[in-house]
Each structure stands twice: as C-alpha cells, then as structure tokens.
Structure 1
C-alpha cells in the first residue's frame, strides 16, 4: 500500500484525496495547517496543525513514513511549500506541487500588479479610496497604516492582526456569484479591488464584477516556488504523477 501525504487546505487537495480513494493500492493522509476555524474536511485520514518548520516535518516523516508528498496548499502558502521541498529532499521522498493556473488579465480589465502585500499597500493610495480587500485574514496589517482609505475586508475568519482604522469586516466563504459581487461592490461604492493571484473558480467572480463596473484591480503576484520543484496544475495530473512514482 502506497502512503501519500497531501498538504492541503484547498479545493484541489480535497478533490485529490477523494480521487485517490478509487485508486487501488493507495492510501492518503491529508494535513491541514489549522488556520481556518471550521475547515472543509477531506476524506480519509487527516492531521491538523503545523509541523514546526522543515525540521519538524522531517521528524514527522521519520515517524510516519510516506511514499510521496503532494503539496496542494494555497499558492501563497510559501513557507510550508519551502519546508515541504526541503524535508522531501532530506528524506529522498518524491514531491510535487499541485498549483491551479494563475488568473490572467482579460480584455476590459484594468490590472495593476504588486510584488507582495507591502508593495500593494504602497501602490494603493494612487488607485482608489474605497477598497475591497480580498486577501484573507493574514496580512491585513500591511494596510493598517492607510488611514485615509476605507476598506471592506472579506475573510473566512476574523483577522488577528491590526486592521485599517476605517474598515468593515465581512465574514464569508466562496464560491461567490457575479451578480452578488456586483451588488456588494455597488453598495459599498468600491473603486479598487485588491486580491492575490490565487487562480481557480472559487473566488474569480469578483474579477468579473470589477470588469463590469470598471473597477481597477490591484493583483498581488504569487511567491516563487522553490527551485527545481516539479509541478502539476490539476488533480488529474497529480493522480498521474502519483502513479508514476509509486509503481
């Protein structure tokens, strides 16, 4: 029986765990960071909580041997991705990153690109005054010093860091409908959307809404993957990769 560690927390990770239940000779354990209070749980064995860095993951792998690792974490979960690549290399375990394709600007969209959250905060005052901030709860403090701007902050759980003084918190989990996103942005008179280039279809309705309303988008680039990292961009590719390394 081949044992696969899925580093999860995304829809792709849950879909992969479900797909592998139909593959003979394959068993999975999914690991969730535990940062969301009420996570959507995958099928199969699940562990919740951090490993304690690359060293902690290495120790966990020593105690719980696996035959392959699929990193299906969020595209902006740079630290666990780095730790997983490091620990997999140390242990000599096959390792792949499952990353959904990035969003690309389409005709009619006005994108401004930021290297990271700090860069986005520096660029934002020149783009608008009423901000729809859709980066999740982590990193909101990068915008806490922008006293002259008003923010609608949408996240699954409340931020546990400093927030901008003029802000309203909206707790919600996607997917979202385009019509609802248009209504939301109109009601709050949004004139700039800030988001991470997460890709996927769970939260892309806000981009359609922004295009419809002529609202500019401040798009935060993904962090780079560790060097020499193998990647697949969908669940089917991950299943094929697992088959290739466990036969």
Structure 2
C-alpha cells in the first residue's frame, strides 16, 4: 500500500508518525510539502517538496507512483490544492480523505467579527481599532497595504515579501504560543484588534483567549469549504481508521 499525504500541518505530521507504526510491512507513506516554509518540521517516511503542476500533474503522480490512498491534510486555508486533490483523485480513481482540524468556536466574552476574505477583514479594521495584531501569515498582506492610518504587528514563520502595510513591525515566530506570551504582546504593543484565520487547533488558540481577556475585537476569516463529496475527519486517529477500512 502506498499512501500520499498532502501535508505541512501538525495533523499531517502526526498522521505520518501514526502510519509509520500502523501500516503493514512493505507499505509506504509519502508526505508532500508545498515548500513555502524555509525550514519545515519534516515528518517520518518519504518526503517530497514542491507542487505537482495542478490537478493533472497530481493525477499523473498518483498513477506513476501507484498511490492507493490520498489524504489531504493541508492547512484549512490552503484552498487550491484541496480542489486539485479532489479532481486528481477522481481522475486516477484513488480514494481521497480530507483531514481538517476542527475550527474555533466563540465563547462568552468574545467579540468576533466573522468575514469571508482577507479583503473583507481589511475593510472592517478601520472601524475596530488602530493597532492591529495580524496573524494571517505572510501571504495575502497586499489586502492590508492601503491601510496607512493603522499600525500592524505581523507575526509569521518566515519574513514577508511583496506589498504590505506601510506601518508594520514583523515578528518571526512559530507556534505553539502561550497565553502569557500573547497577553504580553497585546500589552507591550498596545494592540486593540486581532485579525486571524479560523485555522483551528491548540497551537495558536491562546491569542483568542488573550484578546477575550483584553476585551479587544477579533476579525475572524472563515475557512473555505472542503470540495463537495470528499469525506472529512477531524483527527489523525480517524484518518488511520479510514485507511484501515480501505484495507479490509
């Protein structure tokens, strides 16, 4: 059996670790990383880095490498690759599963402002605050480039490039983050609004609790849908169960 995991997330890495001991002798796991992070944490097993050349290229890779199961464990906001995976899996007749960590849910005290896109997030900001904690990653900063009256603390794993806000400080850091650390950032930089994608998971969730405690609004970009018809599970353990069902 050959399993291809479209990865780059904590869940994908945990899945590769689980499969290393769960698959029968002779089975293979290949993790595919997009290559957008300079120094990714590599999962066990075979690893490939880079794109496939669209849905057609991925379908050809599935056929050429005799892949028996495809698991899309990419970031909830990876978007395009998930639809390429659905098209490629259908063309190559390979079973496909989406592994998505559950999204965040607001609790009492949260001041969330859900939006559909980064452009909508940028449009909402001037009415909400002046000092922005921007945690949507280095991609898509152009959406905020015209907000010259606002100041941004932009946190990401790698340094940004391309258009970005004129008044911006960059903080290079990688989660998991702590509640105390997020509190200190909000206090030290006098941040009065947070912008985040609904990435889900525990690694970056402390910023939501810190914002709640500080009483500041949170602009939350909703995650895109999984392609229609693709089964979805929320944990690596359930993905392992799905694979076991294919082998029966």
Q: Does 1:15 align with 2:21?
A: no
Report the alpha carbon displacement of residue 106 of structure 1 after superposing the two structures with TM.
0.6
Alpha-carbon contact 1:13-1:72 (below 8 Å) kept: yes
Q: Which whole-Å deviations, capped at 9, do the CAs of 1:34-69 have from their partners, x for residues lacking one?
A: 000000000000000011110111121121111000
Match of 2:87 in 1: 86
Whole-angstrom distance in 1 between the partners of 2:240 and 2:23: 12
Whole-angstrom distance in 2 between the partners of 1:10 and 1:246: 25
Q: Which whole-Å deviations, capped at 9, do the CAs of 1:161-186 have from their partners, x for residues lacking one?
A: 21100110000000011011100111
Match of 2:157 in 1: 156
Report the alpha carbon displacement of residue 245 of structure 1 after superposing the two structures with TM.
1.3
Single out whichever of 96-105 and 54-63 deviates more from structure 2.
54-63
Whole-angstrom distance in 2 between the partners of 1:203 and 1:52: 31
Whole-angstrom distance in 2 between the partners of 1:213 and 1:30: 40
How many positions carry a matched residue from both structures? 246
SS at match of 2:41: coil
Q: TM-score, normalised by structure 1?
A: 0.98
Match of 1:57 in 2: 58
Report the alpha carbon displacement of residue 201 of structure 1 after superposing the two structures with TM.
0.5
Q: Which structure 2 residue ranges, 5 or more long, are not aligned?
A: none
Match of 1:28 in 2: 29
Report the alpha carbon displacement of residue 7 of structure 1 after superposing the two structures with TM.
0.3
Match of 1:240 in 2: 241
Q: Which whole-Å deviations, capped at 9, do the CAs of 1:98-151 have from their partners, x for residues lacking one?
A: 000000001111100110111111111111110000001111111011111100
Match of 2:5 in 1: 6
Q: Does 1:97 align with 2:133?
A: no
Moved over 6 A (4+): none
Report the alpha carbon displacement of residue 27 of structure 1 after superposing the two structures with TM.
2.0
Report the alpha carbon displacement of residue 24 of structure 1 after superposing the two structures with TM.
3.6
Match of 1:127 in 2: 128
Alpha-carbon contact 1:102-1:200 (below 8 Å) kept: yes
SS at match of 2:194: strand
Whole-angstrom distance in 2 between the partners of 1:94 and 1:245: 9
Match of 1:215 in 2: 216
Match of 2:71 in 1: 70
Alpha-carbon contact 1:67-1:246 (below 8 Å) kept: no
Report the alpha carbon displacement of residue 217 of structure 1 after superposing the two structures with TM.
0.4
Q: Which structure 1 residue ranges, 5 or more long, are not aligned?
A: none
